[in-house]
């Protein structure tokens, strides 16, 4: 079965009891058991719920994985992966990552004795150089947030396999429609399903996909033990979003490429970061591991914070908001929003400048988006 068909059918067979085409919302906490120790596969909804199971099957199939797990948020899914590790273990993390992942590592897991090294997201070699005896996990995002750098997943998978280290990829920015890290050799994929998978800015959720049985059983144990599970309504909303993922991603990408080109030519724009542009230093690498370049753009406006503030205040269609991946276009200022958990110095080190603006390009008419940006820049 091809991707677009799977997005609509896997895990979502008509209900065997009623024929309901949409997966029912099983709003129940518990399940009657036939006898002690005998049940129909569900005992208690923290442990398992049929609506959640449908979502878990859908996500695992889209990522070409054997197993899928759904969580209450992307951060909860991320926490689950780090929780596979023990005190004294070492993680190598890409330096350009979601602020909340950095916050978890620095302010939660370091306290519990996890060691963390940040490697240069553009240099595969810098991950290899950071490997120590106790390295257990490499964690990356690609394209990265907010600078849209591309990391060579195949090369990193090669290094991690040679050293018996798990490679986890946060695939939120690309979505499985545009990139399937497990097929490139990664071990674990993590999603904030809040973003492209759900796609309508109306739900918070997370998911993990893997074909590594040992990792899966550890994660599944954690999911039940720690309990950060999504409710059935949230699972249902994410499942509904997934059905239109392919058509949405196509439109996000078309609009984003158009907008990136408009910005690149604009005299008030210093630099545009978008992997679909020929000028992107890793455009060729992106083509080898992605089926498209996605809907996220960041750019540096001429000037500093004052210019950013003025620009943002003049936008009408692009809404000033955190998050991404919804049908509506959003604008965000990473230094004070998504990446505020980094100190000014840490941001400088990572190349997140004070004039950096991030766009999540929606699926509105592209001419309207262009006009909005141009008039705000003017
Ligand atoms: C939003 C986001 C997360 C966190 O997900 P939540 O659903 O907000 O908890 C993690 N990684 C990336 C790349 C994100 O954009």
What separation in Å is there between the alpha carbon of 194 and the centre of ligand 1?
A: 7
> pLDDT 10s digit of each residue in the chain, 378 long?
999 999 999 999 999 889 999 999 999 999 999 999 999 999 999 999 999 999 999 999 999 999 999 999 999 999 999 999 999 999 999 998 999 999 999 999 999 999 999 999 888 899 999 999 999 999 999 999 899 999 999 999 999 999 999 999 999 999 999 999 999 999 999 999 999 999 999 999 999 999 999 999 999 999 999 999 999 999 999 999 999 999 999 999 999 999 999 999 999 999 999 999 999 999 999 999 999 999 999 999 999 999 999 999 999 999 999 999 999 999 999 999 988 888 889 888 888 999 999 999 999 999 999 999 999 999
What separation in Å is there between the alpha carbon of 197 and the centre of ligand 1?
A: 12
Residue 192 in contact with ligand 1 by CB distance below 6 A: yes
User: Cβ of 110: how many Cβ atoms within 10 Å?
Assistant: 13
Cβ burial of 353 (10 Å; 0-12, 13-18, 19+) is middle
CA 248 – CA 363 distance, rounded (Å): 7
Architecture of domain 3-243: 3-Layer(aba) Sandwich (3.40)
Residue 204 in contact with ligand 1 by CB distance below 6 A: yes
CA 279 – CA 114 distance, rounded (Å): 38
Fold classification of 246-377 (topology level): 3.90.1150
| Six-digit token string for 345 | 């110095």
Please name the residue whose Cα sits nearest to atom 4 of ligand 1.
Answer: 74
Contact status, residue 24 vs residue 11, Cβ threshold 8 Å: no
Domains 3-243 and 246-377 share a fold: no
Residue 119 in contact with ligand 1 by CB distance below 6 A: no
CA 265 – CA 262 distance, rounded (Å): 6
Helices (H), the chain: 3-9, 50-62, 74-82, 99-104, 124-129, 153-162, 175-178, 213-226, 232-243, 245-265, 283-289, 305-314, 344-350, 366-377
What separation in Å is there between the alpha carbon of 159 and the centre of ligand 1?
A: 26
CA 271 – CA 253 distance, rounded (Å): 19
CA 291 – CA 175 distance, rounded (Å): 10
Give which of 274, 245, 234, 235 is closest to 63, Cα–Cα. 245
Residue with tokens 């992307």: 74
User: Cβ of 66: how many Cβ atoms within 10 Å?
Assistant: 14
List the 296-301 sheet strands across, edge first.
269-273, 296-301, 356-360, 330-332, 319-320
Residue 201 in contact with ligand 1 by CB distance below 6 A: no
| Six-digit token string for 55 | 């979502």
Contact status, residue 46 vs residue 228, Cβ threshold 8 Å: no
Q: At what angle do helices 366-377 and 305-314 cross, to 10 degrees?
A: 130
Q: Give the pLDDT of residue 170.
A: 98
What separation in Å is there between the alpha carbon of 208 and the centre of ligand 1?
A: 12
Q: What is the DSSP letter of 229?
A: P
Q: How far is CA 326 from CA 160, 172, 214, 241, 364, in A?
A: 33, 12, 34, 10, 11
Q: Give the pLDDT of residue 254.
A: 98
| Six-digit token string for 68 | 């899928």
Give the distance from CA 213 to its chain's centroid: 22
Cα 57-217-103 angle, rounded to 5 deg: 90
Residues recognised as catalytic: 46, 98, 170, 195
Please name the residue whose Cα sits nearest to atom 11 of ligand 1.
Answer: 98
What separation in Å is there between the alpha carbon of 101 and the centre of ligand 1?
A: 8
> What end-to-end distance do the CA atoms of the chain give, in Å?
49
Question: Which of 141, 195, 330 has most ligand 1 atoms within 8 Å of its beta carbon, as the pocket-test mutant?
Answer: 195
Residue 73 in contact with ligand 1 by CB distance below 6 A: yes
CA 143 – CA 374 distance, rounded (Å): 26
User: Which atom number of ligand 1 is nearest to the Cα of residue 145?
Assistant: 13
Q: Where are the domains of the chain?
A: 3-243, 246-377
Residue 303 in contact with ligand 1 by CB distance below 6 A: no
């Amino acid at each position: 079965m091809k991707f677009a068909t799977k997005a609509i059918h896997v895990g979502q067979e008509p209900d065997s009891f009623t024929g309901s085409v949409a997966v029912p919302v099983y709003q129940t906490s518990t399940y009657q058991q036939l006898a002690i120790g005998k049940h129909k596969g569900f005992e208690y909804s923290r442990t398992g719920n049929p609506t959640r199971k449908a979502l878990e099957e859908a996500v695992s199939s889209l990522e070409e994985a054997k197993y899928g797990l759904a969580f209450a948020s992307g951060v909860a899914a991320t926490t689950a992966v780090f929780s596979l590790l023990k005190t004294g273990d070492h993680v190598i993390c890409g330096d350009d990552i979601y602020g909340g992942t950095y916050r978890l590592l620095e302010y939660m897991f370091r306290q519990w004795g996890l060691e963390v090294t940040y490697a240069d997201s553009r240099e595969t070699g810098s991950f290899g150089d950071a490997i120590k005896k106790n390295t257990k996990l490499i964690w990356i995002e690609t394209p990265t947030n907010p600078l849209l750098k591309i990391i060579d997943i195949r090369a990193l998978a090669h290094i991690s396999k040679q050293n018996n280290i798990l490679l986890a990829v946060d695939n939120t920015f690309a979505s499985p429609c545009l990139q399937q890290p497990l097929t490139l050799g990664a071990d674990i994929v993590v999603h904030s399903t809040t973003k492209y998978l759900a796609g309508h800015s109306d739900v918070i959720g997370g998911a993990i996909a893997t074909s590594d049985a040992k990792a899966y059983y550890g994660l599944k144990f954690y999911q039940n033990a720690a309990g950060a599970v999504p409710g059935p309504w949230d699972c249902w909303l994410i499942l509904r979003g997934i059905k239109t993922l392919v058509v949405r991603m196509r439109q996000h990408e078309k609009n984003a490429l158009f907008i990136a080109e408009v910005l690149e030519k604009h005299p008030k724009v210093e630099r545009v970061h978008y992997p679909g542009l020929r000028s992107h230093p890793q455009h060729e690498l992106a083509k080898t591991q992605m089926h498209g370049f996605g809907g996220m753009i960041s750019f540096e406006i001429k000037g500093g914070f004052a210019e950013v503030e003025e620009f943002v205040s003049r936008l009408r269609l692009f809404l000033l908001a955190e998050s991404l991946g919804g049908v509506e276009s959003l604008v965000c200022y990473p230094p004070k929003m998504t990446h505020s958990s980094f100190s000014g110095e840490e941001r400088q080190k990572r190349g997140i400048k004070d004039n950096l603006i991030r766009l999540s390009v929606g699926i509105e008419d592209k001419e309207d988006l262009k006009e909005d940006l141009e008039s705000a820049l003017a």
